[in-house]
Amino acid sequence: MTDLRTLDRTELENLYSRLEKQYLAFKSKNLALNMSRGKPSPDQLELSSGLFDSLDARTNKTADNIDVRNYGGVDGIREAKELFAEIFAVRPSEVIVGGNSSLTMMYDTISRALLKGVRDSELPWGKLPQIKFLCPSPGYDRHFAICEALGIEMIPIDMLDDGPDMDKIEELVRKDDTIKGIWCVPKYSNPGGIIYSDEVVDRLAMMETKAADFKIFWDDAYTVHHLTDNPPHLKNILQACSKAGHADRVFIFASTSKVTFPGSGVAAMAASEANIKFILDQLSVQMIGPDKINQLRHVRFLKNLDHINEHMKKHAKLIKPKFDLVLHELEAQLGDQRIASWSNPKGGYFISLNTLDGCAAEVVKRAAAVGVKLTKAGATFPYGKDPKDRNIRIAPTFPSLAELKMAIDVLCLCVQMVSVEKLLT
C-alpha cells in the first residue's frame, strides 16, 4: 500500500470500488463483534477463580480478630489497607478501602465536595455559581460523564506524549479560582496509554492554583496492568505534593476490577492523613462499613504486591497477543497510507487510533453497520465532542483472537473507505 495522498482521482476511485466490494462481503457475514468496552475476557476471569475458595466460614476473622461478617470498619480492614498502601506506595494510614468500584468512590468524593466542600474549602463547591474541571483529552469517558451529570464545566486539555499540556494547565489554574479539579489517569492512560513523566507529576504537585481547594483526581486504575517485563516508573504524586507543601492536593484511586473480577473487586483511595480523616468523618454518615468479606477474600487471594505482579503477568500473557494482533494489523493494513496513527501501549486496556480529521464518527458508524461495535466516536472527549473528530478507542481484551482479527479487518477497511471518500471531496 502507498500513501493515499499521492494517488490521483482515478486511482482513488478504483481503490474505493475494491474496498466497497470487501465491505459488502463483510456485510453478508452478519458479524456481531464488540471492541467497545475494556472488559477482561472469560479466560482472564478464570485466573481469579481461587477467590471463591480463599475464605470459608471458619476463617472469617482479620489479623485484628475482627469478624468480617459484621458491621464496622469504615476505612476497611487493616490487611486490605496494608495491601493498597503497598500498591499506592503510601502509608496504611493514608488509605481508605471501600466497596466494589473506584468510579463510585470518585463520584462520591465529588458529590461530597459539592454538598460539603473538601477539607480546605470555604464553601461547598455546589454553593458556587460555577465550577470547572480540567479534562486531559482524549480521556476516560466516565470521568467526563460524572462532570456532565453533576453540572461541572469541563475544559479539555491536550494530551502530550508525557502527560497533559502543563503549560496550559499552569496558565489556567493560576488565574481562575472556579477551576477546582483535574482528572488524571497517570499510568497507561485510557485511551492513549500515556505515562506521566516525573516533570509532569512535579509540576502538578507544585503549581500555583488560584483555588485553595483545587484537587487532583489521580485515577491510577492501571497501576499494575503492565504489558512488558520492565514496567515504566511513575513518580509518587502524594510524596511530590507533600514535598511541594500541597499534601492535601491529591486524591488517588484504584481498584482490583481488572485484577480479579470487575464489579466484584475491591476499590481504594489514598490521600494525606488530614484528608483521610476529613473524608472518614463524612463517610461514617454515609455507611456503617464496607464489604469486609470481599476485602479479606481479596487479601488472602492477592497476598502482597509481589504476588499481584505475578498474577498480572498471567493477565498479560493472555492479552498481550491481542494487543500485538491489533498493532500488527494496523501496521500491515494502514501502515504506509498516512491516513491514521495509533498508540503502542506498554500497559492498560486500550489502543488509541487517530484517523484523518473529520473521519472518526463515520468510521465507527460504518463498522457498526457491518456488526462491529466500537466505542462511540467522541466519547473520549468532554461532552462527547472530539473537536477534530479523529479519535477511536480500541478495546482489544474481550474478544477472542479470531473475533479480534475479523473486527480489526473491518475497522481498517472502514478507515480506508472513509479516508478515500474524504480525499475525493
At residue 217, what are phi and psi to the nearest 5 degrees?
A: -95, 100
Q: Does 356 bind ligand PLP (CB under 6 A)?
A: no
What span, in angstroms and rounded, lies between the C-alpha atoms of 341 and 336? Answer: 10
Which span (96-104, 149-157, 353-361, 407-415) binds ligand PLP, by CB under 6 A? Answer: 96-104
Q: Rank residues 193 and 231 by Cβ distance to ligand PLP and give the closer one.
A: 193
Residue 266 is a binding residue for ligand PLP (CB under 6 A): no
209 binds ligand PLP (CB under 6 A): no
For 94-111, the DSSP string reads GEEE-SS-HHHHHHHHHH
Which parts of 217-236 interact with ligand PLP (CB under 6 A)?
A: 219, 221
Nearest to 81 by CA among 60, 66, 98: 98
Per-residue x/- track, 121-140, ligand PLP (CB under 6 A): -------------------x
Q: Cβ of residue 227: shortest distance to ligand PLP, in angstroms?
A: 15
Q: Smallest distance, Å, CB 301 to ligand PLP?
A: 17
Shortest CB 250 distance to ligand PLP, Å: 16
Q: Applying CB under 6 A, does 103 fall inside the site for ligand PLP?
A: yes
DSSP-derived secondary structure letter, 347: B
* DSSP code per residue over 358-384: T-HHHHHHHHHHTTEEEPPTTTTSGGG
Q: Minimal CA–CA distance to 393: which of 411, 370, 366? A: 411
Query: Of 267, 359, 364, 374, which one interacts with ligand PLP (CB under 6 A)?
Result: 267
How far is it, in rounded angstroms, from Cα 331 to Cα 333?
A: 6
Tell me how far CA of residue 51 lies from CA of 226, 298, 308, in angstroms. 22, 7, 13
Q: Of these, 185, 204, 238, 339, which contacts ligand PLP (CB under 6 A)?
A: 185
The distance of closest approach from Cβ of residue 6 to ligand PLP in the complex, given in angstroms and rounded to an integer, is 39
Report residue 266 as a C-alpha cell: 475491591
Q: Does 38 bind ligand PLP (CB under 6 A)?
A: yes
Binding flag, residue 108, ligand PLP (CB under 6 A): no
* Residue 299 near residue 80 (C-beta atoms within 8 A): yes
Query: CB of residue 286 vs ligand PLP: minimum separation in angstroms?
Result: 17
**Residue 397 contacts ligand PLP per CB under 6 A:** no
Q: Tell me whether residue 23 or residue 140 sits nearer to ligand PLP (CB atom).
A: 140
Virtual CA dihedral for 50, 55, 56, 61, nearest 10 degrees? Answer: 170
Give the residues lining the site for ligand PLP (CB under 6 A).
38, 101-103, 140, 185, 190, 219, 221, 255, 257, 262, 267
